[in-house]
Amino acid sequence: MKKNWYLFGILSLAVIVLFSFASCERFKIDNLTANRYFKQANGMYENEQYEEAAENYKEGLTLNPNASQYYIYLGTACSMAYQPSILPPEMNSRYQNVEQTNQQLMQEIEEAEVFVSNFEGREEFKSLIDQRAELASRIEEARDELQMVTVSFEDINRQIDYNRYTDYKTQLESAQRRLQDNEAFFAQLEQKEEEATEEEGERTLADIQAEWELKRDIENRRKQLSKDRDLIEEARFFVERFEQDPGFIEKKNNLAALQADLTDLESQLNAIPEYKMYQQKKEEIEYKTKEIEYNKNYKNEVVNNEEIRNTAIEYLHKALEMAEEDAKREKIYTALSDLYSKMIVLDDENEEYFKKAEEYRMKLLEKDPDNLDNYYVMAEFYKSHRKIDKVIETYQARIKLDPKNPEVYSRFSQFLGEARRWDPCIEMAKRRIYALLNPDEIIPLTLKMDENNAMREEAEKAQQYIDNIRKQRVLSSADKRRLIDEQLEKMKAEGQLTLEQIEKQNAGLQEQIDRLFAQALESMDQITDEELRKELLLSFYTLGVRHWNYSYYTDDLNLPRDKRKDVIEDGIKYLDFALQLDPEYAEAVIYTSLLWREKTKVDPTKYETYREKADELRDVYTRLKEKQAKKAAAEIQTEQTE
């Protein structure tokens, strides 16, 4: 009995060992297979095959559900594959009507097929169709033979093939059209000059501009006339000689005869009763068959897209539950925010999706408040959702945390320029230079001005309240004085400045800033740090460009002539500073030229003077670019030689 129990124990232990070994081996195989799926999915993701990548991530996680890092990959792949432009089923009227639409189309196709089948059974039709197919084949062969023609020009030792002949023919026709147009232009111009009166009225800016452009147009047309005459002479020589070649004539006539036969055959087909109806029915069958297939695919696409979105949300939340490291959580927050941002497209008025997207994006700041770059991420997020005030608040918060950093002013200025808020855009571009030249003294003054300006709205309300009290007729002078004093005392207790105090303080602060900035500019030549000089060069150039943007994109109603003049002069001044740092900085030269063109809006009577100056600078720009191109080519040649 004991022996039997002993044997039973050994057998049981052996079974357990074998089962454990088999399970372990199965686990290893599953993990290896899962890794293969993950590797394939990564490659698909890199190639932007997001749906295929998601399927492979799913397969891998089915085999190895503990591979926590791949949950975020699966969720992100689904998020990238999700198409917000495809409305979900509950919001999609087209999806809801697919079955009914397809049934109607299938019924119409069946009716058309009956007509087509009956028509194709006619003997006269069959005979003509066979003849047309044979003719089409012969025409194709004749066209190929024509295109193989090559003509020798022995007198100039040259051969021209059919393709070169067609190029010449196209050039000839184009040049003849241009020549005819230009000759007509000069004929009309001559007639107008004869009819012009000696008296000239007061010329407007439009008149001066028109005259200037006419001069340039005349010059360009004269050049084109000369070129076209030479081109016509050359092209006509080759075209006429080519078309006189016996081989070309024979093959061209053969093709023309076959095409004429085909035209005759088509006429016979069109003469068959109901032939046009037959063609329409054939096209209808083809079109409606494609439409049915498209509707089926669309229905599947809607369902699939909804599943992809839900899968993205599900697996990103799973990844969030499993994530232990902050870096992983940050990736998941970004992915969830991006997904909810895409969902806003479904309903632009739906604040729920925006709040969700904002919530996850804000978690980046909450998790890593010391990473100031996250403020740029938030600013871009608000910008993508057209929340302009939120973008401005985000940049202002970023400035307070690191006010001496030139980059924040550069980014803020770029955004304000895109929003066409030119005055603050230019101010931020200036502050970038302040932060480069004298951050310790100038930047604190700008921050103080910002603090004062933040009080402006409350100060304006208080001033309006005071003005209303002064206008009250029912109040005595003593009561008015008492109420005004109470308001002023309240503002003083709260640390609130009056409008007058704000303006006075800001004027004093601006005076100090201008003085310190002028001093910094005077000592700019002493700067030896090459990186700093490069930064200043780019900053002055950008500031000059911002001034051009302001003038160019703003109409006279929103930019009075006196202010436009100041904007243009300041822009030229800042571009001059850029050229002091690098006299061969071509981009600064061309924008200086553009600003001189803008001067014509300020004083139209000096249009020609300003345009000549602008053109002179444009020529300088061209010479500089040519010089730079030659230098670059020489450097490349030197490198290749070495």
State pLDDT tens for residues 344-355. 766 555 678 888
**CA–CA distance, 482 with 488 (Å, rounded to integer):** 10
Task: State the sign of the Cα–Cα–Cα–Cα dihedral 392, 395, 400, 401.
Answer: positive
Asked whether the beta carbons of 357 and 341 are under 8 A apart, the reply is: yes
Domain residue limits, the chain:
372-421, 438-522, 530-642
pLDDT at 38: 86
The structure tokens listed for 426 are: 């230019």
**CA–CA distance, 251 with 162 (Å, rounded to integer):** 12
**Which amino acid type is present at position 208?**
I
Q: Region of 42 please: left (phi>0), alpha (psi -120 to 50) or beta.
A: alpha
**CA–CA distance, 336 with 348 (Å, rounded to integer):** 18
**CA–CA distance, 594 with 506 (Å, rounded to integer):** 33
For the purposes of burial, counting CB atoms within 10 Å of the CB of 291, is it exposed (0-12), middle (13-18) or buried (19 or more)?
Answer: middle
Task: State the sign of the Cα–Cα–Cα–Cα dihedral 167, 168, 171, 172.
Answer: negative
The structure tokens listed for 459 are: 């100060």
Q: Which residues contact 588 (CB under 8 A, 6 or more apart)?
A: 540, 541, 544, 575, 578, 579, 582
Q: What is the dihedral of CA 237, 238, 242, 245, to 10 degrees?
A: 50
Considering only CA atoms, which of 140, 137, 163, 139 is closest in space to residue 150? 163
pLDDT at 349: 53
Q: Which residues contact 189 (CB under 8 A, 6 or more apart)?
A: 218
Q: Which residues of the chain have pLDDT under 70?
A: 1-30, 193-209, 345-350, 642
Neighbours of 509 (CB within 10 A): 17
The structure tokens listed for 631 are: 């230098």
**Which amino acid type is present at position 162?**
Y
For the purposes of burial, counting CB atoms within 10 Å of the CB of 463, is it exposed (0-12), middle (13-18) or buried (19 or more)?
Answer: middle
Q: Which residues contact 168 (CB under 8 A, 6 or more apart)?
A: 160, 234, 235, 238, 239, 242
**CA–CA distance, 191 with 185 (Å, rounded to integer):** 10
Q: What 3-state class would DSSP assign to 324?
A: coil
Asked whether the beta carbons of 577 and 521 are under 8 A apart, the reply is: yes
**Which amino acid type is present at position 238?**
F
Considering only CA atoms, which of 335, 333, 353, 356 is closest in space to residue 344? 353
Q: Which residues contact 31 (CB under 8 A, 6 or more apart)?
A: 63, 64
The structure tokens listed for 447 are: 């921050």
**CA–CA distance, 178 with 229 (Å, rounded to integer):** 10
**CA–CA distance, 642 with 631 (Å, rounded to integer):** 17
Chain-centroid distance, C-alpha 149: 47
| Phi, psi torsion values for 150, nearest 5 degrees | -130, 130
Considering only CA atoms, which of 96, 99, 104, 48 is closest in space to residue 76? 48
**CA–CA distance, 144 with 125 (Å, rounded to integer):** 29
- First vs last C-alpha separation in the chain: 94
Residue with tokens 């010059």: 219
**CA–CA distance, 461 with 455 (Å, rounded to integer):** 10
pLDDT at 5: 57
Name the percent of the chain in helix, strand, coil, to the closest 5. Answer: 85, 0, 15
**CA–CA distance, 486 with 466 (Å, rounded to integer):** 10
pLDDT at 26: 52
| Phi, psi torsion values for 246, nearest 5 degrees | -60, -40
Asked whether the beta carbons of 588 and 579 are under 8 A apart, the reply is: yes
Q: For residue 576, give Cα distances in angstroms to 429, 524, 585, 589.
A: 16, 13, 10, 9
The structure tokens listed for 490 are: 């309240």
Residue with tokens 């490198």: 639
Neighbours of 235 (CB within 10 A): 22
**CA–CA distance, 165 with 467 (Å, rounded to integer):** 86
**CA–CA distance, 375 with 412 (Å, rounded to integer):** 11
**CA–CA distance, 337 with 316 (Å, rounded to integer):** 11
**CA–CA distance, 556 with 569 (Å, rounded to integer):** 17
Q: What 3-state class would DSSP assign to 475?
A: coil
CB-based contacts of 437-443 (< 8 A; 24+ apart in sequence): 437/517, 437/520, 437/521, 437/524, 437/536, 438/516, 438/517, 438/519, 438/520, 439/404, 440/404, 441/516, 442/513, 442/516, 442/517, 442/520, 443/403, 443/404
